[in-house]
């Protein structure tokens, strides 16, 4: 992946709580011995570290965060 992936977040209800990537990440971490790490926690981590950009168009930071994705 070249940069953060962007979800189609025109409204906050369109933002997923998990993705296929977060489910794979969760399974891999469980195989490595992690106990409390499901797909939702994995997705939240991906958001926090900038792997996923979920800013909705109404967000005051939306334009700032999407400039880097061009």
Q: Which two tokens stand for residue 36?
A: 């409390």
Predicted TM-score (pTM) of the model is 0.72
Q: Report the percent of the chain where pLDDT is more than 70.
A: 79
Q: Report the percent of the chain where pLDDT is more than 90.
A: 39
| Span 32-51, pLDDT tens digits | 999 999 999 999 999 889 88
- Is the pLDDT reported for residue 26 higher than 90? yes
pLDDT at position 9: 57
Question: Read out DSSP for 5-41?
Answer: EE---SSGGGS-S--HHHHHHHHHHHHTT-SS--HHH
Query: Residue 1 — pLDDT band, cuts 50, 70, 90?
Result: very low
Q: Which conformational region is residue 50 in: left (phi greater than 0), alpha (psi within -120 to 50 degrees), or beta?
A: left
């Amino acid at each position: 992946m070249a940069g953060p992936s962007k979800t189609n977040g025109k409204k906050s209800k369109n933002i997923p709580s998990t993705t296929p990537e977060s489910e794979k990440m969760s399974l891999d971490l469980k195989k490595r011995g992690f106990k409390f790490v499901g797909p939702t926690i994995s997705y939240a981590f991906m958001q926090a570290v900038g792997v996923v950009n979920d800013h909705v168009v109404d967000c005051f930071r939306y334009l700032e965060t999407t400039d880097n994705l061009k």
